[in-house]
Structure 1
Amino acid sequence: MDSQRNILLIALLFVSFLLFQQWNADNSPQTQNQTAAQSAMTQGDVPSHSGDSATIPGPSSSDKLIHIRTDVLDLTVDTLGGDIVEAKLLAYDNELDSSDPFVLLKNEPAHQFVAQSGLIGANGIDSTAGRAQLNAEQKEYVLADDQDELRVPLTYSKDGIEYTKTFTLHRDSYALEVSYTINNLSEKPATVQMYAQLKQTLMDDGGSLTMPTYRGGAYSADDEKYNKYSFDDMADKSLNLSMKKGWAAMMQHYFVSAWIPEAIPANANEETPSNNLFSRTSQGQGYIGVRMPSETVQPGSGLTTTAKLWVGPKLQDKMEATAENLNLTADYGWLWFIASPLHKLLSLIHGFVGNWGIAIIILTFMVRGVMFPLTKAQYTSMAKMRMLQPKLQAMRERFGDDRQRMSQEMMELYKKEKVNPLGGCLPLLLQMPIFIALYWALMESVELRHAPFFGWIHDLSAQDPYYVLPILMGVTMFLIQKMSPTTVTDPMQQKIMTFMPVLFTGFFLFFPSGLVLYWLVSNIVTLIQQSIIFKQLEKKGLHSK
């Protein structure tokens, strides 16, 4: 197996991988029309407390808004129900070099994405009549420079019961607590149930062949660490799961919003009510969320029920500290066990060098250094196979169409010469998972979003604007071909192999520059390793062009 065929195999595997990702994107739900989205905004967003997925009609938005600002978040809260209808991430630009922050949650006619929470049940304040109009003492709440915590209370009274919905935010944190305190001053017991859900206009993934992305639901439950649940899945079948711990999320490229209810103690008996994970679609909107167990407040008593909300970038360490398995929303696919350590190593290197592009270069040298024994075995096997070509050709002439005899003689020759005919292919197959895992590690790393390298590369998550890196990558691939020994004599195969660098260059023109940088540096390392290996083989008399 020679290097040209190895390159062809890489191309086939890689293109097949990209086509599979694009097939997933093409079969995702399409964006609904604006009329349906606007119609949905006039409907209520309160889930039934009976355990089904019904929607209770009623007004869901008003013009009475308050603003909450910390060092990393700028939230807009609608006091009708207390929903978060806009979330700006102050540390992330909307576009490269933009002065506007990235908006994750939004309440626009064409795209609504809001975080809702409320109380249902016999004494809930969200019902068929509509959402409760909560009262706020201020219109603006700002985390002061000398504060580490900001608490924003919204109040409501009904039938002798006082309700306080409190948002608690922390410095340098995308996780906040949303709690309800119920103070029962009436003469009867009060029963309430907290719910928390994410609502978003049904949209497609918005990805491409070279950058496949996912927009939709995801959840974690007792027996499932992480599972995607797309808008299509929601439309086909509503979720209705009981769980002691977990979360419900909506995610997109680089960012995620997730509700995390209070966990039920693991040692709780079977009769203890569990949290309920649910989803549904209605009027062009998708919903996913949790219902917490019903609570009864006796007269003269009070209680507080709380859920956490993550609304921010996919910062894996911070997400992992917020909720178990929430870091898995940085989705590395089935090769996560390789991609996750690569990302951690990349982050560690960045901590020393301070530049993500340089960190990618160092990581590439480290990965290729670890794989050097495989590379050496590959080229050694290729060289031995090339040296056996005259004997193999003589066998073909001698045995003609007797394939069985030819196969037996070939195996005897391989055994005698201690050659593994798959020795040049197996190292390549072992390298491919590493490349694909690193592909996802770079694709899913929000740290690379708008991260500059040097010169003309201002964003490692975007394509090279002048295509310099892809062209250099193609040139190095061509040089690798020229340096490698070949047994291919068929003119058509030779033309195909010659065309491979051009094909790869065409693909990589539209790839994120961080990934192209990795491939380019990997090719340079390959050229260096080839020179070293071939010199060693020449001393053994194995290498000859």
Structure 2
Amino acid sequence: MDKKNFTIGALLLVAAFALLFFGPRPAPQAPVPEAPAPKAAPGEPAGTAGSTTTAASPATPAAAATPPNTMLANVHRDAADARVVKLENDYISARFTDFGGAVRDVAFKKYAAVLDHPDPYVFNLLHEDPLLAFTDYPGLGRTTRYELVSSSATEVVFRHVLDGKVEVTRRYRLTREEEKGGDPYRIHHETTFRNLGGSTLPLGKASLSVGTAGLMDAADVGQYLNIVSSNGSDTQFIERSELEGGGIGSIVGAGRQAVPLLEKPGNVAWAGAKNQFFTSIYTPDKPAVGVAARRIELPPFPNSQHPNIGMSGAARFDLPVLAPNASASLTGLLYVGPQEYRRLARFQANEDRVLPYTQYFFNRIFLSGYVAPLQNILLNMTHNWVGNWGVAVILMTLILKVVSLPFTIAASRSAKKMAKLQPELQVIREKYKDNPQKQQQATMELFKAKKINPLGGCIPILITFPLFIGFFAMLQCTAELRLQPFLWARDLAAPDTVGHLFGIPWLPINIMPILMGATMVIQMRLTPTPSVDNVQMKMMKFMPYIFTLFCYGFSCALALYSTINGLFTIGQQLVINRMKDPEETVPATASGPAGRPVKNVTPGKKHK
């Protein structure tokens, strides 16, 4: 395509990359507070499925030094004598506490906490409340000790009598894949209220915690840290910035005010807490009536001076009025696990929309909500075939380039036509340099006479944008890529840093983005250059370097995609530059007007 159209496309890409440039940095490379699985305290048995232990709080000394902040929630610690019951299968190890009668945390056996370390990632390890604990119902919250009624390999039951009036029984069971709605990462929950009195008892409203989500590492700025909910069709992402205040309006003193708690009423089919790769999702059998979100100050990351602010959320329910000796239950399914699209897509309430494919306006206008899921499925199918995630990303990139090839050829041919037209366009510019209206009119007449669409180099490229924007969005939050090695990269979900310039920690040497920048420079030199505008030429000259800076901190998977895309584009451009347009092909027999052959007459010699 020509430089003018390349500029339009490049600026659109800059807008997309800008969202990601200021977004999260991928998976952790060093231990983080939420990640390591808790170890048994000295003298504490490791515990087996269905076993109970008396567990000390996880050792996180930094939390004690966290200054109190009324705008932020604080990390809650279980009492030293809390009884903990563990239920586990091949995928998770869920720990339940008798304080609050709820899910203390969940460890993922298939996902490590950090690179080269066997401990699993633990969700909700540091939290404001245990998962599904009552957050605002007096006498039933996280500080209330429930009686442990029973426990087995797959089920645990807690009970508490509130003020001698209502009996609260909380039952949790690991689900099986063969049952309806079952999944190894899902826990069935049931809380039953029974009126013990002789009079009618209104239960009022109650909120259940949907968990606490923390940043993935010290470089994560929280772009994908959300309390998320859905009414079954539309998904609502509550971002941390909505509670922090500020905004553009703060420049003129009209910014948002920081709030300690953000409540959003409405029909809620499911709600959860999430970070870039992992999530909790509670899907009640009867919809909730709202969600609430808070920020929580977590212990800082090692060797980091930046505050570590997570998010905790809750779903609010209307409870019934109980007749004497009557009972009512609040039931649902709690998913705590990785954001695997294929797994979440099997659920009945569109829980797969927890993935941020439609979180931002830019993704929505380019239909990422439709394109990215299909690409995720295809990426997983490709991985199942080749057995390597890096190779799968490469093959997917090539598939996208092949699909978009007809549009690329159309754009390149249009660019070549525009390049040939430049001398005539320059004449028009000089002739009507003092009359822009005449200049534009003459230019359009020339385009019409030559049968050239001035947007012919841009429109075909715009058609392919949903493919590449969707793929880009999909790679950002694909949990399967986390901690997967490829070539020299140790983690496809993190930058492929091989060292640091002069040993300075904030000057990493990332190979893939450098290769990507090199391919962009070569691609620019191969692209037809019809424009002679100096400002535009200078901007185009520096565009590859700007893109390289934007992408320098991207994960290896994203940089690999961009690099392979650039290499394939170079190959395409080399072939296209050697292709002749149909109208350029000279027929074997030249024809004159009306298609009649032109007679080849050799001038006769002059006779003296």
Query: Normalised by the shorter chain, which TM-score bucket?
Result: 0.7 to 0.9
> Aligned pair in 2 of structure 1 residues 451, 287: CA closer, same or farther (>3 Å)?
closer
Q: Which residue, out of 222, 227, 239, partners 2:263?
A: 239
User: What amino acid maps onto 1:523 in structure 2?
Assistant: G
CA contact (8 A) 1:62 1:79 kept: no
Corresponding residue to 1:83 among 102, 106, 109: 102
Contact 2:227-2:293 at 8 Å conserved across structures: no
Report the CA distance shift for 1:173/1:394 in structure 2 as closer, same or farther (over 3 A). Answer: same
CA–CA distance in structure 2, aligned partners of residues 180 and 137 of structure 1: 14
Letter of the structure 2 residue corresponding to residue 259 of structure 1? Y
1:50 aligns with none
Residue 258 in structure 1 maps to residue 291 in structure 2:
no
Query: Aligned with 2:133: secondary structure?
Result: strand
Give the letter aligned to residue 279 of structure 1: A
Amino acid at match of 1:533: I
Q: Give the letter for the 1:459 counterpart.
A: D
Code of the aligned partner of 2:383: H
Structure 2: distance between partners of 1:42 and 1:463: 31
1:69–1:21 distance in 2 versus 1, CA, 3 Å? same
Aligned-partner residue type, residue 227 of structure 1: Q
Which of 60, 66, 73 is equivalent to 2:84? 66
1:310 aligned onto 2:335: yes
The aligned amino acid for 1:316 is Y
Partner of 1:511: 554
Larger radius of gyration: 2
SS of the residue corresponding to residue 321 of structure 1 reads coil
Deviation at 1:456, TM superposition (A): 1.2
Task: Please give the root-mean-square deviation of Cα atoms over the aligned residues, in Å.
Answer: 3.7
Structure 1 position 115 matched with structure 2 position 131? yes
Q: Secondary structure at the match of 1:77?
A: strand
Whole-Å Cα distance in 2 between the matches of residues 23 and 505 of structure 1? Answer: 14
Q: Tell me if the contact between 2:224 and 2:356 (Cα under 8 Å) persists in the aligned partners.
A: no
Alpha-carbon spacing, 1:515–1:120, altered in 2? closer, same or farther (3 Å): closer
**Partners of 2:383 and 2:215 in 1: how far apart?**
35
In the TM superposition, what is the alpha-carbon distance from 1:226 to its structure 2 partner?
Answer: 0.5
Determine if the alignment matches structure 1 residue 126 to structure 2 residue 162: no
Structure 1 SS opposite 2:230? strand
Q: Give the Cα–Cα distance (whole angstroms) in 1 for the partners of residues 187 and 482 of structure 2.
A: 24
CA distance in 1, matches of 2:237, 2:217: 13
In structure 2, relative to structure 1, the CA distance for the partners of 1:406 and 1:188 (3 Å cut) is closer
**CA distance in structure 2 between the partners assigned to 1:226 and 1:11 by the alignment:** 30
Q: 1:100 aligns with which of 119, 127, 152?
A: 119
1:168 to 150, 167, 173: 173
1:161 Cα deviation from its structure 2 partner: 6.1
> 1:381-420, aligned counterparts within 5 Å?
381-420=414-453
Q: Percent identity?
A: 27
Unaligned 5+ segments in structure 1 are 26-31, 44-58, 144-149, 265-274
- Say whether the 8 Å CA contact 1:68–1:142 is kept in structure 2: no
CA positional deviation for 1:330: 0.7
The reply to whether residue 276 of structure 1 matches residue 289 of structure 2 is: yes
Alignment of 1:88-487 (within 5 A): 88-107=107-126, 112=128, 114-118=130-134, 126=140, 131-136=143-148, 143=153, 150-157=154-161, 159=164, 163-170=168-175, 173-182=184-193, 192=203, 195-198=207-210, 200=212, 213-221=223-231, 225-233=234-242, 236=259, 238-239=262-263, 241-243=265-267, 246-263=269-286, 275-279=288-292, 281=294, 288-296=313-321, 298=323, 302-333=327-358, 334=364, 335-453=368-486, 455-466=487-498, 467-487=510-530
- Tell me the TM-score normalized by structure 2: 0.71
Report which stretch shifted further, 251-260 or 12-21: 12-21
Q: Does the Cα contact within 8 Å between 1:239 and 1:278 map onto a contact in 2?
A: yes
CA distance 1:492–1:403, shift in 2 (3 Å): closer
290-299 or 361-370, which deviates more: 290-299
* Structure-2 separation of matches of 1:182 and 1:41: 29
How far did residue 533 of structure 1 move? 2.4
The letter of the residue matching 2:235 is: Y
Letter matched to residue 353 of structure 1: V
Q: 1:42 to 1:101 in 2, by over 3 A?
A: closer
Deviation at 1:436, TM superposition (A): 2.2
Cα distance per residue 1:180-205 (max 9 Å; x no partner)? 24556665555546641235499899
In structure 2, do the counterparts of structure 1 residues 90 and 60 end up closer, same or farther at CA, with 3 Å as the change threshold? closer
User: What are the equivalent positions in structure 2 for 1:522-541 lying under 5 Å apart?
Assistant: 522-537=565-580, 540-541=583-584
SS in 2 for 1:239: strand
- Change in 2 beyond 3 A, CA 1:532/1:231: closer
Comparing 364-373 with 6-15, greater Cα deviation is found at 6-15
Tell me the alpha carbon deviations over residues 105-158 of structure 1, each in whole angstroms, 9 at most, x when there is no partner.
Answer: 123xxx64631334988xx8527xx854222267xx674xxxxxx111123356
Equivalence for 2:305: none
Deviations 1:68-127 (A, max 9, x none): 1312222232212213222221211111222111121123xxx64631334988xx8527
Equivalent-residue separation in structure 1 for 2:21 and 2:517 (angstroms): 24
Judged with a 3 Å threshold, the aligned counterparts in structure 2 of structure 1 residues 309 and 386 are, in CA distance, closer, same or farther, namely same
Unaligned runs of 5+ in 2: 25-62, 177-182, 244-257, 298-309, 359-363, 499-509, 586-608
Aligned to 2:15: 16
